[in-house]
Each structure stands twice: as structure tokens, then as C-alpha cells.
Amino acid sequence: MAKKIIITIDGWSSCGKSTLAKQLAKKLGYVYVDSGAMYRAITLYFLRNHIDWTNKSKVKAALKEVYLDFHFNEKDESSEIYLNGENVEYVIRDLVIAEKVSDIAAIKEVREFAVAQQKKLGAKKGIVMDGRDIGTVVFPRAELKIFMTADNAVRVERRFKELFEKNPNITIEEVKNNLEMRDYIDSHRAVSPLKKAHDALVLDNTNLTPEEQFQKALSWAKERLKDK
């Protein structure tokens, strides 16, 4: 049986982490897990059920009612997240969720809940997972760690285009403020802050096409597989 590795992709919002992770997983025949979708789904549950996330006991009680799962959509060959049996893949991409997800993802109990599930998903290797703390906390011994970054203006433009399709009323200023807020919270939180793992390879895609960044990351993966 071919040996498999764990690939982690961390980095700032709107750097194309999930796009690259999906491409690598498809090419290598690996499982793709969007860790950010897990935090977004938890955020959706908290908002829908009016959970006071400043109250530790209420957070713990709410997490006991949350069941997350990923199902493969054969039609568009993507992995979609389900919250308590409901496909919420598209609901969680709303700006309302984006505005709250960093706050909720910073809660110690929420991170412990998500990380425990993520570790289970990677037990058999052959997995590509993207997020903020995958290479530092979830899989510190992953064979390939990638840290993605890009120029701030480029990231804002990418995010604006993505959200504008769903909400034509959104302004680029709103997107810029949201990204700056998320960057600050993600990198300054007390639990598992966003930072580059010491052994991660940096992929700055400011001036790269999706195909160019994919080929670069794929070459790194092939090198690691050769070393196995």
C-alpha cells in the first residue's frame, strides 16, 4: 500500500488555502478537511440558538449538541460540511458568520472541541487540512506544512469578489475592515494563535496564478512522499 502523509495549510484569510487544499487532495486522492468550515458551523449553531459565548458553561453545554461531519459531493467533487445532519456549506459563507467566527474560534473550549475532531480525521493520514493552527497545534508532526500569505490589497480584492457574487450590496471597505479584524484576532488570541510553524514552507501567492501555486505545492508534496 502506498505510504501517505499529512499536509497542513495554514495562513491568513483569503490567501486561497482551501482552493489549494482541494486541488492537492484531489490530485493525491487524499481526504480534504476545511477546518475553518468547522468553526463557521459552530458559529452558525451559536447564532441560531442565541448562545451567550461569553458564558463558559453555556458554551460547553452547546458544544454537546453540535455534531459535525463532512460528506463528499460527487457532482462538483467537493467536501461539504454538515451541522447536525444539515448541509450548511453555503450558509456558513455569509458575512454575518465571518464577522463572528474569529471571536468564537478564539474560545478555548471551542478550539479544544474542534481540534479533537480534527485529530481523529487525520489518524489514518492521507489528509489535507487547512486552517490557522493545523501545522502548529493539530498536526505538529505533519510531513508537509505550508504557510500561505499574500499582499493585503490582493487578499481584500479576492475576498470582495467572492462575497460580491452572493451579496452585491457589500462594499470593499466592509471587506477590508472584516479582514483586518480577523487578522488581528487570529494572530493575537491566547489559544492557538495564527503563526507560521518553524518547519513550514512559505507560499506567497501574491503574483502566482492558482495553477502556479498548485504546481509548487505539489512538487513539495512529491518530495515528501519520496522521502517516506
The reply to whether 223 falls in a domain is no
| Residue type at position 159 | R
Helices 17-28 and 210-227 meet at what angle, rounded to 10?
50
Residues 183 and 180: their CA atoms lie apart, in Å, by 5
**HEC letters along 127-190:** EEEEECCHHHHHCCCCCEEEEEECCHHHHHHHHHHHHHCCCCCCCHHHHHHHHHHHHHHHHHCC
For residue 69, the cross-strand partners are 82
The reply to whether 220 falls in a domain is no
- 30 vs 73, more confident: 30
Is pLDDT at 1 greater than 60 in this prediction?
Answer: no
Q: Which of the four pLDDT bands, split at 50, 70 and 90, describes residue 186?
A: confident
The reply to whether 196 falls in a domain is yes
Chain mean position to CA 192: 14
- pLDDT, tens digit, for every residue of 107-116? 999 999 999 9
Q: Which of the four pLDDT bands, split at 50, 70 and 90, describes residue 63?
A: very high
- In this structure, the number of other CB atoms found within 10 A of the CB of residue 228 comes to 9
Q: Which of the four pLDDT bands, split at 50, 70 and 90, describes residue 31?
A: confident
For residue 128, the cross-strand partners are 7, 32
- What was the pLDDT predicted at 72? 74
The reply to whether 224 falls in a domain is no
- pLDDT, tens digit, for every residue of 132-180? 899 999 999 999 999 999 999 999 999 999 888 878 899 999 999 999 9
Q: Which of the four pLDDT bands, split at 50, 70 and 90, describes residue 221?
A: very high
- What was the pLDDT predicted at 228? 65
Residues 142 and 129: their CA atoms lie apart, in Å, by 10
- 94 vs 200, more confident: 200
**What percent of the chain stands above pLDDT 70?**
99
State the chain's mean pLDDT as an integer.
92
Task: Give the count of domains, the chain.
Answer: 1
The reply to whether 113 falls in a domain is yes
Contact predicate 142/128, CB 8 Å: no
Identify the CATH number of the domain in which residue 93 sits. 3.40.50.300
- What was the pLDDT predicted at 224? 94
| Phi, psi (rounded to 5 degrees) for 53 | -80, 5
The reply to whether 67 falls in a domain is yes
- What was the pLDDT predicted at 12? 92
The reply to whether 36 falls in a domain is yes
For residue 151, which of 11, 9, 23 has the smallest C-alpha distance?
11
Domain range for 14 is 6-212
Q: What is the pTM of this model?
A: 0.82
Strand order in the sheet with 127-131: 31-34, 127-131, 6-11, 144-149, 201-204
